[in-house]
Amino acid sequence: MKPPVIVLRAAGSNCDVETGRAFELAGGAPELVHINRLFSGEKHLGDYAVLAIPGGFTYGDDIAAGKVLAAEITSRLQDQLAAFLDKGGLVIGICNGFQVLVKTGFLPGIEGVPATLTHNDSQRFEARWVHLRVERSCCLWTRRIAGELITLPVAHGEGKFMARDEDAFSRIRENSQIVFAYVAPGGGEAVYPQDPNGSTGHVAGICDPGGRVLGLMPHPERFVEKYQHPRMSRGEGAEAWGLKIIRGGIEVALDL
Amino acid sequence: MAWYRVEVAITPGLADAEGAAAAADLASAGAAGVADCRVVRIFNVSGDISRRQAESLAADLLADKVVDVWSIDRPVLSEEGSVPLEIARHPGVMDPAAQSIRRGAAALGIALDDVWTGKRYLVASGAAPDSLMAAARRVLLNEVIEFLSVDRIPPERPHPGGYEFSLVAVPLLRMTPDEMVGTSRRMVLSLNPAEMGVIQEYFRTLGRDPTNVELETLAQTWSEHCVHKTLKGIINYKGRTIDNLLKSTIARATAEINAPWCLSVFVDNAGVIEFDEGNGVCFKVETHNHPSAIEPYGGAGTGIGGVIRDILGTGLGARPIANTDVFCFGRPDSSYDDVPRGALHPERVMKGVVAGVRDYGNRMGIPTVNGAVCFDERYTGNPLVYCGTLGIIPRWAVAKQARPGDIIVVVGGRTGRDGIHGATFSSVELSEESETVSSGAVQIGNAIEEKRMMDCLLVARDEKLYSAVTDCGAGGLSSAVGEMGEHVGAEVHLEKVPLKYAGLSYTEIWISEAQERMVLAVPPDRLDRLLAVFAAEDVEATPIGSFTGDGMLRLFYRDDRVAELDMDFMHNGLPRLHREASPPQVILRSHPSVIDDSASVGRALVAVLSELNVAGKQWIIRQYDHEVQAGTLLKPLAGVNDDGPSDGAVMRPVPGRNLGVALAVGINPLYGDLSPYQMAANAVDEAVRNAVACGADPERIAILDNFAWGNTDDPCQLGALVEASQACYDVATVYRTPFISGKDSLHNEFESEGGRISIPYTLLISAVGIVENLDFITSMDLKKPGSILYLVGDTRPELSAGHYLKVLGRQGDPAGVPSVRPLDGVKTFAAVASAIRQDLVLACHDLSEGGLAVAAAEMAFAGMIGAVIDVSPLTEKSLRPEEALFSETPSRFLVEVAPGQCPAFESVLRNHGAPAFPVGRSVPGGVFTLVDGDDVLAEEKLEVIKAAWMSPLDY
């Protein structure tokens, strides 16, 4: 059976359709669900194996990116989500979804270690393809591609990852929770704009200590086939890295 | 009820990038000694809430737990040694954050009664507050919508008062013609004496005076913006009478071409062409010039928001899949002294417009994929902002018709005083006073409101819950209901329209241009389901009346009838305009020279690459999310480092399907100074050749026209419009590229103490073409060393009004303006397309501004592969080297072909009768070389020419 995937929509979600399609290509059974239907009880997280919070500008990113949706999840879906995770459910937050997961505290998911995603150092929205190293981490989504150098597009204005202080960042790193880092082509240390936002440790994505909850600023759903690669006409893009990440989650869900 | 003022700021010690940017802006605007700036975000909230709840709101919602500090009713940062500048919106101006804050607070269990936001800049500076405030007015705020205070602005804001109904009649029947003109001006109706006369006659037969809302309705319906009365009027030119210029040129071309793949042309919000067996694609481009001149951010944002609604309102609604943007600005490096009084500085306009398109387009989740930017000082007081949207629509949804008995439902945002008189204001030239007299015409958008409405609308469409839809754009409900009810009649109860705040009169409700609203015609048996679809996602949908079947427009406010007009008179009563046109004169221009005649070819190349019209636009492009929806295949930037200028974009509207849509533009305002005819012909040619270069099928390309002109009461300006329209017909009929939609914007001039400044004659042509196979997508970057570079198409000595002469400070002779030869061009396009389809082309780039030299340089640095260009095949035909390199002759391409494919490529070109000249090859290493036989003309490192191209607009 195809693992059921809930792609959570709210006012201003805008990568929901392509995220659903990516899960479909990866072998999941996606369903796009507006958050009001979870609030009303018409839909329940417990009926799904994977929760995807897609990119967008939920509630306009007014106040700060992802903040209002995070407040709604914290106040109205906390118990449902905790139960979903206890049962082994998988979560991916992409771009705005990552911002939501960080602002709810589900990421990094360590008591007393708050982190945030804040304004890019350039102080503006940036859309570009980046090079990433898939770190050897505890993340279940990326088990098969750990150590690889991959490319994906980013498009965000608030993607600078920061922990409260050095100690907090060290704990995240020592827990092997750093999943993706911006690198120069070939894997060297990234400088702007290779690191588009100035994140601490060039972090582009992290997971929770259990490895089931993944959040990342780059958009895997935008690279699920070669035609989407910017250098397709130069013969690049044979490996659709975004699809591999999504498929990684589906494979774990199939083992549930 | 208590008010609290919450202040939030980045923690001292952490970098405040927004503050740093503000400090730099203030310094650039003339404030001396600005050392630093910190930004305090202000949230004023009220409600039946305790202090503890306010603290929870600040800690858990408004402030970030890692980077922010907050306070309530006291300063959050020490303000010692800094000058505070506090900025807030005028009461009643849309505050998009308010709705989200309310929602977030509700999640915390806190019900807010009112909320409004502001910013406080703490500027560390030795400058006097007066000089800081003057600089702030230049760069930090726009007084049309905001105000500045050095004191804390008190949080309490009174609620606006109620509205007491009284019916206002205008005593038209006894007015003299002069008095009627005065009334038209006073009410900003923009109706001319003949039109006022016809209206007086209409009411005389009814035996009563009109109400104010009846006059307003006619003014909206008859505005230049809505009916294009100049283009559709009667024009005498060179001894002949042109009855409806639009019909006799643009629409005539479409009718003669009669392409079977055109599904809907000129009748709807957008033109629709066939995409596949189940779907069409529709495309519309609009301008939003005057609002953008006054408030660049809000004007441009609502420009893109408006054209998106055009697409949502095409047929029964299309799904938007791409946006385009084309801007014309004054020079951003102008000194403040060169900016006429009453106009904003061009850099301010540019940054505001880009931010407006960025924030609206990105939030809508529609990729902004293609565009152009032109600079000329005549755009300083009257910039041009063109926004376009491409949509995909099921073929069953292309047609619509409101039926008698259908309920009129307004969906989306609420109605406020925003944008009153936008439609009639766009027909008035801008002046020093525009800022004050027309500030009501400025709208502020709220993209998330539109996004929510769009999501629900498309669900309702697929459930077939309504029989017609249109957007509320210029003219608001007046235009929307008037248009939908033209053939049936309508009745509206204005008090039912949901309002943002109390106090609006019935006229204001009817003509408000508040954003993010659409109107539906809903069969009564579908109404409940329709309302449920919108309610499910918290979008307001409100029945406000019905379509009747008696051909009358009737408006009520509670029990009073406030208007009763004949739809036939509204739509067909407008008297035709009669205008005299005379041949346009050459407009002589001088430019400051960047180089002189003794400059080497290498220096000339660098100067042309740095010319603002040529230079890289990556600073703009990167701020747009050009890949959301995951369907942008050919992206606006291409090459080994994703930084070369693509000729257009290719979208994939249906995921998984091997079929694409190319978007491209053509625009050459400088040519119009010498020849309006060739300006227009070149725009058509450029749009089509860009689409072909990307891989589009030249037999499946449709085009859109957007004229932006000065004052067409001037016979020469009108003559130029006639010439340009004729060129559109002449070229489009040969290329067999039908016009499917268009929009004109007249009265683009700025009046100040120095006199009237008219914009250059500006025609934007936008092309949409089908790419039959995604493997035909061709990018412009050189792919490998050792390839042969072919120049396709003939080159003539056409440097006039081009960019090479411009950097020399000259304009050139009218005889030398680039001229389109459509019978040659059509062969070239077919040949290049055929070579692409046979997989003989590695890279293809169109030749435009700066000619061969610029195109070759761009291909080389985009691929980071060297090139040697030898112009001797051209100089042997008696062209001088600089003509060979920089001539802007249209209908040309530079094509990279692998050596083994050359015989096949040459044979394809020959079979189509298109000339191709091998003018060079790609080479290993990082050097770009121009030679004429044995003479080396220039030798430059790729890094050098790339930097020359990238740096001028890299903010």
pLDDT of B28 reads 85
Query: From the CA of A242, how many Å to the nearest CA of chain B?
Result: 11
Contact B365 A153 (CB under 8 A): no
Residue A83 CA to residue A61 CA, distance in Å, equals 28
Among the partner residues A56, A64, A227, nearest to B64 by beta-carbon distance: A64
CA dist B148 and B138 (Å) reads 12
Mean pLDDT on B439-451 = 79
Please judge whether A63 and B781 are an interchain contact, meaning their C-beta atoms are less than 8 angstroms apart: no
pLDDT given at position B422: 56
Q: Which residues does chain B have within 8 Å of residue A227's beta carbon, measured at their own beta carbons?
A: 633, 652, 774, 777
> For B192-225, how does the pLDDT look when each residue is reduced to its tens digit (9 = 90+)?
999 999 999 999 999 999 999 999 999 999 988 7
Contact A130, A99 (CB under 8 A): no
B364 touching A (Cβ < 8 Å):
yes
C-alpha R_g of chain A: 17
Q: Do A60 and B363 touch (CB under 8 A)?
A: yes
Q: Check CB contact under 8 Å for A59 and B109.
A: no
ipTM given for this complex: 0.97
Q: Which residue of B has its CA nearest to A163?
A: B66
Topology given in CATH for the domain delimited by B2-149: Mth169; Chain: A , (3.30.1280)
Q: Mutation test of the interface with chain B: which of A233, A236, A241, A243, choosing the one with the most B Cβ atoms within 10 A?
A: A233
Residue B274 near residue B661 (C-beta atoms within 8 A): no
Please state the φ and ψ torsions of residue B854, each to the nearest 5 degrees: -70, -45
Q: Which among A83, A102, A84 is positioned nearest to A93, based on CA atoms?
A: A102
B97–A63 C-beta distance less than 8 A: yes
Query: What value does the mean pLDDT take over residues B525-547?
Result: 98
What pLDDT does residue B847 have? 98
Cα–Cα separations (whole angstroms), residue B77 to B87, B102, B225: 17, 26, 49
Region B178-189: mean pLDDT is 92
pLDDT computed for residue B432 by the predictor? 54
Question: Taking phi first (over 0 means left), then psi (-120 to 50 degrees means alpha), and beta for anything else, what does residue B258 get?
Answer: left
Contacts of B472 (CB under 8 A, 6+ apart): B309, B410, B479, B480, B513, B514, B517, B518, B519
Least confident of A130-139, B585-594, B668-677: B585-594
State the smallest CA–CA distance between residue B792 and chain A in angstroms: 21
State whether B627 and A222 contact (CB < 8 Å): yes
**pLDDT level of residue B437 (50, 70, 90 thresholds):** very low
pLDDT digits over A42-84, tens only? 999 999 999 999 999 999 999 999 999 999 999 999 999 999 9
Comparing alpha-carbon positions, the chain A residue that sits nearest to B447 is: A60
Residues of A in contact with B642 (CB under 8 A): 128-129, 230-231
Domains of chain A: 4-254 (3.40.50.880)
The residue behind tokens 């209409």 is B202
The DSSP element (H or E) to which B456 belongs, if any, is: helix B447-462
Which tokens hold the place of B138? 């230049």
Q: Which residues of chain A have a CB within 8 Å of the CB of B629?
A: 14-15, 17-18
Pairwise CA distance, residues B477 & B415, whole Å: 10
CB A27 within 8 A of CB A62: no
- For residues A3-30, give the mean pLDDT: 98
User: Does the pLDDT value for residue B427 go beyond 60?
Assistant: no
User: Averaged over B897-913, what is the pLDDT?
Assistant: 98
- Indicate where chain B has its CATH 3.30.1280.10 domain(s): 2-149
B428 pLDDT band, cuts 50/70/90, is low
B415 three-class SS: strand
The residues of chain B that CATH labels 3.90.650.10 are 780-955
Q: Distance from B102 to chain A by nearest Cα, in Å?
A: 9
Tokens representing residue B493 in the block: 């109860």
Question: What three-state secondary structure class fits B426?
Answer: coil
Q: Is any Cβ of chain A less than 8 angstroms from the Cβ of B354?
A: no
Distance from CA of B24 to the nearest CA of A (A): 13
Query: Closest residue of B to A128, CA-based?
Result: B622
Of A48-57, A136-145, B288-297, least confident by mean pLDDT is B288-297
pLDDT at A31 over 60: yes
Which residues on chain B are in Cβ contact (under 8 Å) with A11? Answer: 448, 451-452, 537-538
Q: Is B103 on the interface with A (CB under 8 A)?
A: yes
CB contact under 8 A, B622 and A59: no
B5 — phi, psi (to 5°)? -110, 115
| Predicted local distance difference test score (pLDDT) of residue B159 | 67
User: Does B471 have pLDDT greater than 90?
Assistant: yes
Shortest distance, CA A118 to any CA of chain B (angstroms): 8
- Mean pLDDT over B159-164 rounds to 77
What is the DSSP code string of B273-287? EE-SSSEEEEEEEEE
Mean pLDDT of B121-143: 88
**Buried/exposed A45-79: b ≥16 CB within 10 Å, e otherwise:** beebbbbbbbbbbbbbbbbbbbbbbbbbbbeebee
CATH class of the domain at B780-955: alpha beta
Look at A155 and B627 and tell me if their CB atoms are within 8 Å.
yes
Contact A63 B104 (CB under 8 A): yes
Nearest residue to B412 via CA among B367, B455, B441, B459? B455
- For residue A123, the chain B residue with the least C-alpha distance is B17
d(CA B119, CA B205): 57
Supply the mean pLDDT for chain B. Answer: 94
* Contact B679/A at CB under 8 A: no
pLDDT digits (tens, 9 = 90+) for B785-805: 999 999 999 999 999 999 999
Name the residue facing A129 among B60, B642, B777 (closest C-beta).
B642
- A148 part of the active site: no
Residue B262 has pLDDT above 90, yes or no: yes
| Whether the predicted pLDDT of B438 surpasses 50 | no
pLDDT-derived band of residue B439, with 50, 70 and 90 as boundaries?
very low
Please give the DSSP secondary-structure letter assigned to residue A233: G
Is the separation of the CB atoms in B768 and B390 below 8 Å? yes
| Of B536, B627, B640, Cβ closest to residue A36 | B536
Q: What is the pLDDT of residue B138?
A: 87
Average pLDDT over residues B62-84: 95
d(CA B296, CA B383): 9
User: Is A228 within 8 Å of B100 when comparing Cβ atoms?
Assistant: no
Query: Can you give the pLDDT at residue B396?
Result: 97
Average pLDDT for A223-230: 96
pLDDT band at B96 (very low <50, low <70, confident <90, very high): confident
Section B683-710 average pLDDT: 98
User: Does A219 contact B536 at a Cβ distance shorter than 8 Å?
Assistant: no
Q: Where are the beta strands (DSSP E) in B365-406?
A: 368-375, 384-394
- A219 catalytic, yes or no? yes
Residue B288 pLDDT greater than 80, yes or no: yes
Report d(CA B271, CA B448) in Å as an integer: 26
Share of chain B above pLDDT 70, in %: 97
Of residues B90, B159, B228, B288, which has the active-site annotation?
B288
**Backbone dihedral region of B373: left (phi > 0), alpha (psi from -120 to 50 degrees) or beta?**
beta
Confidence check: pLDDT of B706 > 70? yes
